[in-house]
């Protein structure tokens, strides 16, 4: 009778995936340039000519509202001699390069330029700002530098519908605040920390006792696409740190959708929406923006208090965790340990990290 040995444990990624500048450069030129990245919210560009700038994968871009109401995104560079077109945010009738005043329509076509008629054979119709794939997802604007990328509903199948079910008023929402949180770590360290709750009961006492019910927490990859779905029930109402209405559909649940590689929708109990979006700046530093939303962006004392609570507890606790991991990854004494993969899944299992690290490995190694 033969004895079958148990399968070998699956180990975490080697430190080089987080610390090697060459791998970071690969990600900037590859993964982050061919995946859907959050740009901003439609409420930032309500009117014709409204625009805002942002950066993706080292590229400066700007999103602008056209005359027919359409949203377009362009590389922030003039087609004449490469000066950047706009800074920050604002509103304009036409887009004018500050260098030589080449002027573009809101649709990107060249409209005019000083003395361009003196150039023999100059064909204005052949000059246009370079556009970027853009999609609006329940008011959230995403872009992809890959012109041939599959649409968001193929990347994240079912999320659009499920999110609308959990936040029925999502299309009326606007940000009440975005908080910028710099972290001294590789962006993947921060994303991993967000993508498991194995550490929650130990490190997030307010979240674990005043928002969610840890024993019901689970994170699973959705059947298709690149999504990790967090699910749990809310804490006992007598322990909740903010008031909620459990009579509304899904009011007593927490659900989160992590959209690989750098965005997450969280639906807190009571149908409260907030978001994370990440930006990678270097191999060992990134920024996380934490967003909170209300109908029309109207002020709400409850949401303000919840946002402050989140910043003073979970956010501060996570900064200490991820920055300690970043330091540890540089230690010559680190040997990647086995992931804790409980067949029953649940709170104290890292099956979501196994999926996430597989995506990370594929992005670099193919």
- Per DSSP, the residues of 189-233 read HHHHHHT--TTHHHH-HHHHHHTB-GGG-EEEE-SSSSEEEEEEE
**Separation between Cα atoms, residue 211 and residue 207, nearest integer Å:** 5
pTM for the full predicted model:
0.94
Helix, strand or coil, per DSSP, at residue 362: helix
Length of the chain: 366
What average pLDDT does the chain have? 95
CATH fold group of domain 159-365 = Naphthalene 1,2-dioxygenase Alpha Subunit; Chain A, domain 1 (3.90.380)
50 touches 65 (CB < 8 A): yes
Domain boundaries, the chain: 37-144, 159-365
In CATH terms, the superfamily for domain 37-144 is Rieske [2Fe-2S] iron-sulphur domain (2.102.10.10)
Q: How far apart are CA 250 and CA 267, in angstroms?
A: 10
Q: How far is CA 153 from CA 158, 183, 226, 227, 278, in A?
A: 7, 30, 11, 11, 21
pLDDT > 90 fraction of the chain, expressed in percent and rounded:
89
For 287-300, the pLDDT digits (tens) are: 999 999 999 999 99
How close are the terminal C-alpha atoms of the chain, in Å? Answer: 41
Which tokens in the block code for residue 22?
Answer: 């060459």
Short-list 131, 156, 124, 172, CA closest to 263: 156
What does DSSP assign to residue 311? I
pLDDT at 38 over 50: yes
What digits encode the pLDDT tens for the residues 188-229? 999 999 999 989 899 999 998 999 898 999 999 998 999 999
């Amino acid at each position: 009778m033969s004895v079958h040995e148990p399968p070998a444990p699956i180990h975490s990624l080697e430190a080089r995936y987080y610390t090697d500048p060459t791998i970071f450069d690969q990600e900037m030129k590859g993964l982050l340039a061919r995946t859907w990245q959050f740009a901003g919210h439609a409420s930032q560009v309500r009117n014709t000519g409204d625009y805002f700038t942002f950066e993706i994968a080292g590229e400066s871009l700007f999103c602008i509202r056209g005359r027919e109401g359409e949203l377009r995104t362009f590389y922030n560079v003039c087609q004449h001699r490469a000066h950047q077109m706009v800074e920050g945010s604002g509103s304009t009738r036409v887009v004018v390069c500050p260098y030589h005043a080449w002027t573009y329509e809101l649709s990107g076509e060249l409209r005019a330029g000083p003395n361009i008629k003196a150039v023999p054979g100059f064909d204005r119709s052949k000059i246009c700002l370079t556009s970027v794939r853009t999609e609006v997802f329940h008011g959230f604007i995403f872009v992809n530098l890959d012109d041939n990328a599959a649409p968001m509903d193929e990347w994240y199948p079912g999320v659009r519908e499920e999110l609308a079910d959990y936040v029925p008023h999502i299309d009326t929402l606007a940000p009440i605040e975005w908080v910028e949180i710099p972290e001294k770590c590789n962006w993947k360290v921060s994303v991993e920390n967000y993508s498991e709750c194995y550490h929650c009961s130990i490190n997030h006492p307010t979240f674990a006792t005043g928002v969610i019910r840890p024993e019901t927490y689970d994170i699973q990859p959705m059947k298709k696409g690149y999504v990790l779905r967090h699910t749990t029930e809310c804490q006992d109402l007598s322990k909740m740190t903010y008031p909620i209405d459990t009579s509304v559909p899904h009011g007593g649940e927490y659900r989160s959708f992590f959209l690989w590689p750098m965005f997450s929708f969280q639906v807190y109990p009571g149908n409260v929406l907030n978001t994370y979006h990440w930006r990678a700046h270097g191999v060992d530093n990134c920024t996380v923006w934490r967003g909170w939303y209300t109908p029309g962006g109207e002020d709400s004392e409850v949401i303000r208090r919840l946002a402050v609570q989140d910043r003073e507890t979970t956010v501060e606790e996570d900064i200490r965790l991820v920055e300690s991991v970043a330091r540890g990854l540089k230690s010559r004494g680190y040997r990647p340990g086995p992931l804790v993969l409980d067949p029953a899944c649940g709170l104290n299992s890292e099956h979501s990290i196994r999926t996430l690290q597989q995506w990370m490995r594929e992005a670099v190694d193919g």
